[in-house]
Amino acid sequence: MIAEPPATHIRLDKSGTAWIDDTNVKVVEVIEEHLAHGEGPDELHVQHPDLSLAQIHSAFAYYFDHRDALDAEIERRYRAAEALRAKATNQPTRKKLLARLNKR
């Protein structure tokens, strides 16, 4: 008897973004967390018990199969966040906001 191939747990949307099946979690988000904190699949599963270990391992497998594209996406996301951070240099602190509120 030939075994059925394993489920991939990954789906692509119309724009080609890889998502973990049956979730609202992008593969790139799991990988960013792994890269930022050095967490492996077991630790990620503890942090995200709504994801199965199979789903997390599938995200890793997808990453290693598409590493260049996902690394480019991670870099793009980082640069976008840095650009937003640079624009937000004159934002008031919480203390200043509360002072403004108390003046009303």
Q: Do residues 23 and 51 lie in contact, with contact meaning Cβ atoms separated by under 8 Å?
A: yes
Query: Left if phi > 0, otherwise alpha if psi is -120 to 50, otherwise beta: which for 22?
Result: left
Reported as a pLDDT band with limits 50, 70 and 90, residue 86 is confident
For the packed helices 27-37 and 67-87, what is the interaxial angle rounded to 10 degrees?
80
Q: What is the pLDDT of residue 6?
A: 66
**What's the average model confidence in pLDDT over 19-32?**
95
Q: State what percent of residues in the chain have pLDDT above 90.
A: 72
What residue ranges define each of the domains in the chain, with the CATH number in brackets? 10-103 (1.10.10.10)
What pTM was estimated for this model as a whole?
0.77
Average of per-residue pLDDT values in the chain: 90
